[in-house]
Amino acid sequence: MSFLSKRSVLEGLNSAKASKTKEWRDNLPTWCPGCGHFTGLHGLYEAVEKLKIPQKDFVVVSGIGCSGRFPFFIKGFGLHGLHGRALPLATGIKIANPALTVVVVGGDGDGVGIGGGHFPHAARNNFNLTYILLDNSIYGLTKGQISPTSPMGMKSGTSPYGNIARPINPTTLALAYEATFVARVFSRERDMVSDIITKAIQHNGFSFIHVLSPCVVFNKLITYNSWHEVVADLPADHDTQNRSKAMGLAASIDPIYLGIFHQENTPSFDDLSQQIKKGLITPA
Ligand SMILES: Cc1ncc(C[n+]2csc(CCOP(=O)(O)OP(=O)(O)O)c2C)c(N)n1
Ligand code: SF4
């Protein structure tokens, strides 16, 4: 990936494709030119435009990090919360008003580091949220410390001799936590990112998208090129109903598979709580 100039970013934002989503664009993103997070943002612009979600019914909730800047760049409502606390904030918003479309965005540090304790419970409760985890395998905002997804051996300000901790894999975590929609995408594949974010928002229940989203400034080891060499689409005959098979494919590091690993139609938290309220079911 060549380092994009500020001008080329602006040209991209004004391109014919981007102009279709101009109603959704808010402040000009402050990310570094070439940051992978741009693709996640464009994917979300395209998804909400395609799904014709009214801006008054749309909320983006984030934690802290470069990824946490998301709500400033998209119209609708936004909440830039505390580091690692985006999921509980979003859960409260969704429970208070189930009619809203609530999208949660955060980094790998935010989501599987400090906020890692919230992820299993948002997933297993099947809250009707879409969680986009922008993984650059580093803490970007705080200028390049290792994160829970950094590979062993990676040098950084906090690992001058190389990282000695084993990395965790957000996609296998989501599968283990019983998320009902689990996908992985790469921010070089813009159309795939938009398509899968659209499907995730349409999904009834907790949808999780792991975005491989390089930090072009602080991570010199995990880059567009290093990921490009190992990513591959999931096998065409992959059965998205088979969670244990999905787990094996999600754990693979060469290739690193992209696509929808798991999708299951089952009542969401909102559905079940409405049915209980109406006296239609009683918890067993
Ligand atoms: C409670 C708390 N601890 C630590 C910080 C400092 N901090 C801000 S962002 C961040 C990590 C950001 O990394 P990540 O979540 O991966 O997002 P990125 O910036 O890479 O998009 C840290 C440690 C904080 N703001 N609040
Ligand atoms: S520091 Fe890294 S993650 Fe943050 S905006 Fe710049 S490229 Fe993106």
Helices 37-50 and 190-202, interaxial angle, to 10°? 50
Nearest CA to ligand 1 atom 4: 83
Ligand 2 environment, Cβ below 6 A: 31-32, 35, 37, 66, 136, 140-141, 215-218
Nearest CA to ligand 1 atom 13: 139
Whether residue 65 has its Cβ less than 6 Å from ligand 1: yes
Whether residue 181 has its Cβ less than 6 Å from ligand 1: no
The neighbour count for residue 154, using CB atoms within 10 Å, is 19
Residue 17: pLDDT above 80?
A: no
Query: What contacts 50, CB < 8 A, 6 or more positions away?
Result: 194, 198
**Ligand lying nearest the CA atom of residue 67:** 1
The SS3 assignment for 72 reads: helix
Whether residue 108 has its Cβ less than 6 Å from ligand 1: yes
pLDDT score recorded for residue 262: 98
Q: What is the pLDDT of residues 79-128, one digit of tens each?
A: 999 999 999 999 999 999 999 999 999 999 999 999 999 999 999 999 99
Residue 8: pLDDT above 60?
A: no
* Token digits of residue 173: 């975590």
CB 181 within 8 A of CB 262: yes
β-pairing, 130-135 with 181-186?
unpaired
Q: How far is the CA of 255 from the centre of ligand 1 (A)?
A: 29
Domains of the chain, first to last: 6-277 (3.40.50.970)
Mean pLDDT of 143-170: 97
Q: How far is the CA of 65 from the centre of ligand 1 (A)?
A: 5
The SS3 assignment for 24 reads: helix
Banded model confidence at residue 284, pLDDT cuts 50, 70, 90: confident
- Mean residue pLDDT across the chain: 94
CA pair distance 212, 140, nearest whole angstrom: 14
Residue 203: pLDDT above 70?
A: yes
Mean pLDDT of 48-65: 98
Q: How far is the CA of 132 from the centre of ligand 1 (A)?
A: 16
Banded model confidence at residue 3, pLDDT cuts 50, 70, 90: very low
**The pTM is what?**
0.94
The tally of CA atoms less than 13 A away on the side-chain side of residue 253 is 8
Banded model confidence at residue 283, pLDDT cuts 50, 70, 90: confident
- At residue 93's C-alpha, the angle toward residues 118 and 38, to 5°, is 70
pLDDT score recorded for residue 16: 55
CB 150 within 8 A of CB 137: yes
DSSP state of 111: I
Q: How far is the CA of 41 from the centre of ligand 1 (A)?
A: 19
**How many Å is the Cα radius of gyration of the chain?**
18
CA pair distance 15, 6, nearest whole angstrom: 14
Closest ligand 1 atom, residue 111 Cα: 15
